[in-house]
Chains A and B, each alone.
Chain A
Amino acid sequence: EVQLVESGGGLVKPGGSLKLSCATSGFNFSSYDMNWVRQAPGKGLEWVSSISGSSTDIYYADSLKGRFTISRDNAKNSIHLQMNILRAEDTAVYYCATREYIYSPLDYWGQGTLVTVSS
């Protein structure tokens, strides 16, 4: 059974940093493209970032303007999202999700972790 479990969310002040993690199991992790998708309270889904199985192809939403960094550890079947210079508009539930390759749908999702940016 495929499992994705996010962690690391919480309350952070504007301008602060936070690192999210997603632990996975039940599939051949190193072969899969991994993604972060976020959802602000009461809003729709926003793709944030993706990383290929070998970490050679990394992409970000333009709106992040270089503040976020995605990484993966294939030995630990996990991915991370380092978020810096956080703003109120980054408040959201952050989901990790898998896809087989870059041009394929997001087939498995975690339950999400809530990040709240507030003073």
Chain B
Amino acid sequence: DIVMTQSPDSLAVSLGERATIKCKSGQSVFYNSNNKNYLAWYQQKPGQPPKLLISWASTRESGVPDRFSGSGSGTDFTLTISSLQAEDVAVYYCQQYYSIPPLFGQGTKLEIK
């Protein structure tokens, strides 16, 4: 199994500041044949189901604000929120879909400082 580890577990950032969440996979989730990283980021607000934010490590889903960006390759990935808004308070999860089981990271709780 490819274990996913996020850091930090929780994070408090001031409104308008940058928030950075890391995700590390136990082995590479980069597939050479199509040059893609099989890594997604999800946002889960309180009382709601998760929402897909970013797929293939860096592709924003339709409707996701451009303050959200994903980067990284191989085993190390980052979710960046460039200017934190109040509505971004949530738990963020990374997930690999390179192999079965498609494991999630433990989550990072993002709050306002």
Interface residues, chain A, with chain B CB atoms under 8 Å away: 37, 44-47, 50, 59, 61-62, 95, 99, 102-112
B93 within 8 A of A: yes
For the complex, give the distance between the alpha carbons of A50 and B56 in Å: 20
For the complex, give the distance between the alpha carbons of A109 and B93 in Å: 14
A44 and B107 form a contact (CB under 8 A):
yes
Contacts of B107 in A (CB 8 A): 44-45
B90 within 8 A of A: no
B77 within 8 A of A: no
Contacts of A103 in B (CB 8 A): 38, 97-98
Beyond A45-B95, A103-B98, 19 extra complex contacts between A and B, CB < 8 Å:
A44-B107, A45-B50, A45-B93, A45-B107, A59-B100, A61-B101, A95-B49, A104-B55, A105-B40, A105-B55, A105-B56, A105-B95, A106-B40, A106-B52, A107-B52, A107-B55, A108-B52, A110-B49, A111-B48
- Known A61-B101, A106-B40, A106-B95: A44·B51 in contact at CB below 8 Å: no
Quick one: which of A44, A59, A105, A106 has the most chain B CB within 10 A? A105
Contacts of A95 in B (CB 8 A): 49-50
- Known A95-B49, A110-B49, A112-B49: A44·B93 in contact at CB below 8 Å: yes
B106 within 8 A of A: yes
